[in-house]
Chains A and B, each alone.
Chain A
């Protein structure tokens, strides 16, 4: 079984739950930006949660199926259509051999996950089928999809047709989006006034927002505590001796526009970081569109761990609902 790519949308890549273990060599974890949505899509079509699906941002691809398969679309609200007939989101529906899957315009959110029964059956690279385009690694030939590609699909079952995720288990960011942040790393580099304004101000997602990082604009510039720059750090007060960057860490080059590093993060560099978005909120970032308002919410480690437990409880409910 294969899927013929008739149009690739804007940027559509093969993704699973990522490739841990190689960040110390500069190869990021990758995988679906919205992990929860990818897990849900796979569960809907009867796959393992870690099977490879497709992630499409802002615009859906046009895909022709060569055999019958179940498909589920989760994440952003971008209505799928089979031969022009609209299908529900967060629900497993049948696409027959010869039919074409397309998408309506994006309504809310930013990224859809497309799961197909049997999973996208590209070879694993370093233990994952996720695409890392900079390294030409994984996914379909190490790159985003292009017209004419024939995507191999594994053997699946059609048993779960009609299965759906209850409305209360569909996770989406609010407006403004609230991203919880644990201050730390080089937090001490900015003045008390800037520490306050960072959390008080409303920010907007900038157009430069992709799988590597999300940039924000609109809040007040951060002021730095005076110091003689350490040897090797560079002359700008926002520079540090190049260090590792945690996933979710927020760097603010020049003190002006915060950038949250995401799944395809660069593994290190020379900009200071004010803190890190907690693990429970990383999925939400992947659903933010440019110009959307967002706020950073200051939390403690205990609150971060509680949020993580809450998110796991949601996942447990999702699994229970989809048996």
Chain B
């Protein structure tokens, strides 16, 4: 993997680990971003990991751009030698697929879609060669996803599914972006899944909705009291399909402060994963359910 360094003006160093998306590129960028954080380079004010790249904001009054470039490049060498293992957490997110709210929204913006005659789920299932929407949902919820980036707007996770490239779900974005997307919509664009943290404009295909808030500036949601943003880059997500009753129950639980998402600490080894993808994913899911 040839890593490219480039400056974003006099305050940002942009590091592209790969032009194309892959779990390896994501893993390299996350490991290097963590390496930069741990090395405590003078003048670094923010480190933003992304899918296959990351960005460092620095204060050029404290460190010359040439010096930060040299220091970060030295971390590339160390990251190359380090074990490809990260400690992270896995979380189960309930999803009500094919729900009435995203359905109402996608019908309202149908003329902006590639296929105005069906739904986003119909379209995504068809162009990804699934026999039915149910098969598509089984694949979407069947293997876990890495949170490869948190951003765009507050607390929104970009997610990359932990499967071989040929099994990656790929869909184009809407032809023209919608001006509205329900809060907590589970969407997909390109090879990335996302959860819309707030209501607003969006161009990703809409598959369902989760009852679980992931951004709460009032910090009243029980599991967001310590911090208003739920996701962190490197989190692993497993979707769990739920029906309307379970959705309504979960919404009530959230409102009453009783909802807490299942979360377990896990260790992820890229080599193990590459040797046996489904086996590694099964182990992760086992950890989630306390096996």
Complex contact B9–A243 (CB within 8 A): no
- Give complex CA distance A305, B198 in Å: 38
Complex contact A279–B191 (CB within 8 A): no
- Give complex CA distance A187, B6 in Å: 10
Look across to chain A and name the residue whose beta carbon is closest to the beta carbon of B64: A305
Complex contact B46–A184 (CB within 8 A): no
Complex contact B150–A301 (CB within 8 A): no
Look across to chain B and name the residue whose beta carbon is closest to the beta carbon of A234: B190
Cβ contact of A301, chosen from B7, B14, B198, cutoff 8 A:
B7
Say whether A76 faces chain B, with CB atoms less than 8 Å apart. no
- Give complex CA distance A27, B228 in Å: 11
Cβ contact of A135, chosen from B14, B173, B190, B198, cutoff 8 A:
B198
* A-B interface pairs (CB < 8 A), number: 179
Cβ contact of A137, chosen from B53, B154, B158, B233, cutoff 8 A:
B154
Look across to chain B and name the residue whose beta carbon is closest to the beta carbon of A20: B45
- Give complex CA distance A230, B153 in Å: 25
Complex contact B10–A136 (CB within 8 A): no
Complex contact A184–B217 (CB within 8 A): no
Look across to chain B and name the residue whose beta carbon is closest to the beta carbon of A132: B154
Write out the residue numbers on chain B whose beta carbons fall within 8 Å of the beta carbon of A142.
217
- Nearest chain B CB to A224 CB, angstrom units: 14
Please tell me which stretch of A145-153, A154-162, A264-272 contacts chain B, meaning at least 4 of its Cβ atoms lie within 8 angstroms of it: A264-272
- Give complex CA distance A285, B198 in Å: 28
Range of interface residues on A (Cβ < 8 Å)? 35 or more
Complex contact A243–B16 (CB within 8 A): yes
Complex contact A21–B45 (CB within 8 A): yes
- Give complex CA distance A246, B60 in Å: 15
- Give complex CA distance A304, B11 in Å: 10
Complex contact B49–A24 (CB within 8 A): yes
Cβ contact of A267, chosen from B19, B47, B65, B152, cutoff 8 A:
B152
- Nearest chain A CB to B203 CB, angstrom units: 10
User: Which residue numbers of A lie inside 8 Å of B, CB to CB?
Assistant: 20-27, 125-126, 132, 134-137, 142, 182, 184-185, 187, 230-235, 240-244, 246-249, 266-270, 273, 275-280, 301, 304-305, 308, 312
Cβ contact of B9, chosen from A230, A241, A246, cutoff 8 A:
A246
Complex contact B22–A135 (CB within 8 A): no
- Give complex CA distance A234, B55 in Å: 21
Say whether B262 faces chain A, with CB atoms less than 8 Å apart. no
Complex contact A232–B153 (CB within 8 A): no
Cβ contact of A278, chosen from B9, B49, B51, B197, cutoff 8 A:
B9
- Nearest chain A CB to B87 CB, angstrom units: 18
Complex contact A308–B151 (CB within 8 A): no
- Give complex CA distance A185, B15 in Å: 9
- Give complex CA distance A22, B47 in Å: 9
Complex contact B9–A25 (CB within 8 A): no
Residues 130-154 of chain B: 1 if any A CB is under 8 Å from the residue's CB, otherwise 0? Answer: 0000000000000000000111111
Say whether B200 faces chain A, with CB atoms less than 8 Å apart. yes
